[in-house]
Structure 1
């Protein structure tokens, strides 16, 4: 870590107290349990930077009066990165400690660790205890790491909590089936025409908007090796450090400082991982960590500028230096397989231009 980043980190310690990565793990458990036992079903750590207070209040509003055995906590990633072990193992241990701290009360426990992921555990015979793991896994699959509010609300939706954004399921399904039956032929024809790939002079193919995915599999038509991609990843981590150095935002506002702290935590985590990349899964995990760091930094800068925080998006697939993506398109290299990729505004216009 460069001297400037160390300087920024030192300033953050003065503003926020000890850095979350060095906090006593038991303190997180004590704070969460005290909130839950005080009648509040949602605990939001001020250093998490993952959701706002109003979003936490909305989550609590869905649980209050519905069930008294559903508990939610949003913690910083550092809460499960206290040692060299796997995040999932540390998350499981922390969930068990929360269960013990609650006097082994049966229920559904949901904990998000910001950029380290969202985890759940069901204890005893509480409704949904057997299904919550599957439900959260599906929500995590369908959302990015930064979409903590959507992941938690989606989990509550599937558990049956009131106050969701959706319409009543049965009437909507009936209406959808009727419309589908009446217009199936035309709809299928329209979809087939819309999905028809267009081949560009460069040999690339584009087939219109694609469903967003937080990470992408490795395709057989990729010619670069893991070692080559790892070298690019190391360069990207170096650039991330330079970006943090150059930003040097003022930290007098605790909200801004919390976002910068989260970015620095993620950068430190990426720096630890970057020299031991041997698989595509490790590369994807590193990419999510660096993207999370940049998103937190950009959020801090938006707060300072008085503008809305940026949406959580992966960097442009064509070149991460283009910045965050704005859309996903189905794309293929010359002679390759179509796959969904995130692209910036300029690349989106280039690929979709007639």
Structure 2
């Protein structure tokens, strides 16, 4: 299967290496950064220097490929999907942007190829888990989805280090959050809905952020009382972000905030990803609750150390592509994350990254 991989950043490089190593994929990585491309080319992976703003040059590289895997920033998702449609390629991406996903869904209507956005961790794997658990109930009351990508050793006031895209981070903090409340689909405010919980003896907070639900609100409309998604952070993070975005007015000056964070907040490869899904409902006449909880850690094995967010995000999109290649997903039109069967995902050679993580046995 011939893959055009857009973007050679941390996540893109991990995706490229995973797919290339199988021998089942001919991967060509497209990026404008020659240093990123050289690192992959030295490993025998095909590369091409292309600016993502040059539509004609991108289209020329996509023609003849079977699929486009998009690991570019979220604001380029619509352009990448349009080019995939134009060139007759299947399309997969990692976007958490709600508007981009809706545009791609509309694009996919009547398409001869498949369009599957949101193939990362959240949205992505978290929705696969939630849908699987909820589908096991006779009737569902509440679905709570919590995900955090956190530094293992927080040292600053925000108790945060850059573990993934700054663009994506600020985007999810600034846009309305889809949810279902008392049976009605609503738009909740970002950074609201603050709650606290402990996991393995560590205290965390969680609050509303946009995009993590994927298409679950639409899929479960009329079938669930409450359904929501919240991002997990260490206590105190939310209040400081509210101060920056609200009190200092940086919500209206996001580029400046991103520049400040890139300049002053170190990135880290030593992180941990928390996945926590709780579903309650009726089963055989009894009100029951089921929980899926995982911690995925960074690894320093092998030639390239991998952060937990690299592992989980790359595993999500690689598993989606792999399951599609095996015919276990629809082959045309819009494909939702919840159309992936959780057992198939976890049994997949890429999805197994979530199986090898440590299952959390207790939560309070």
Same fold (TM over 0.5): no
**TM-score, normalised on structure 2?**
0.28
The answer to which structure has the higher helix fraction is 1
TM superposition score normalised by structure 1: 0.29
Higher relative contact order (CA 8 A, sep 6+): 2
Bigger Rg, structure 1 or 2: 1
- More strand as a share of residues: 2
